[in-house]
Amino acid sequence: MAVLKVRKYGDPVLRRRASEVGEITPEIRKLVDDMVETMYDEVGIGLAAPQVGIALRLVVIADDETRDVRPLVNPVIVDRSGERTAEEGCLSIPGIFALVNRAAWVRVEARDLDGQPVTIEGRDLLARVLQHEIDHIDGVLFIDRLDPLTRDRIKRKIKKEGLPEGTRHNAFAL
């Protein structure tokens, strides 16, 4: 397994709509292993393939209690309910945190690494991680979900100060 370089805000791969994963090849399995290692190295609880430069619809999600990891291939949100606002960060936008409003509960359908259909339901933090990572494979970043004033303020701050290099995240980052 290898720790991959996490792509940062400004990298065009983060803005592409990623392609569906076809057959689960050994390369896909290796990519998942590397994404898991990268996520742990970055102290994240979720990671999407575009964040390591691969424009595929593939995400890994860590259970915040057990630390078990679930790879989700071609995940789709099929149902959602409620609303929650909580602070969110992103491994691709280090040092930036903001309150983001999202559904409180989601149901996601995907495939596992055996190609079998899986359904995962999550509320609160898990729901947030699922929505954040699935946004990534659509080329959407959490700052896109903010009100325009807050988003512009963050964009100006990044433009002026850049993003911190090599910082360790001790807050919720995806």
Residue 174 in the binding site for Zn ion (CB under 5 A): yes
Q: Count Cβ atoms below 10 Å from residue 108 Cβ, excluding itself.
A: 24
Closest separation between CB of residue 121 and Zn ion, Å?
21
Q: How far apart are CA 153 and CA 159, in angstroms?
A: 10
Q: How far apart are CA 128 and CA 151, in angstroms?
A: 19
Closest separation between CB of residue 162 and Zn ion, Å?
18
For the chain, state the CA radius of gyration.
15
Closest separation between CB of residue 52 and Zn ion, Å?
12
Residue number, nearest CB to Zn ion: 90
Q: DSSP character for 56?
A: B
Nearer to Zn ion, 32 or 137 (CB): 137
Nearer to Zn ion, 11 or 24 (CB): 11
Contacts (CB under 5 A) with Zn ion, residues 79-108: 90
Is 171 in contact with 95 (CB distance < 8 Å)? Answer: no
Q: Which of 23, 133, 161, 165 is catalytic?
A: 133
Q: How far apart are CA 165 and CA 95, in angstroms?
A: 9
Closest separation between CB of residue 79 and Zn ion, Å?
22
SS3 49: helix
- What residues does 70 pair with on adjacent strands? 61
Nearer to Zn ion, 6 or 28 (CB): 6
Nearer to Zn ion, 24 or 70 (CB): 70
Q: Is 133 a catalytic residue?
A: yes
Residue 154 in the binding site for Zn ion (CB under 5 A): no
Contacts (CB under 5 A) with Zn ion, residues 114-153: none
What is the C-alpha end-to-end distance of the chain, expressed in Å? 20
The residues that are catalytic are 133
Q: Which residues bind Zn ion (CB under 5 A)?
A: 90, 174
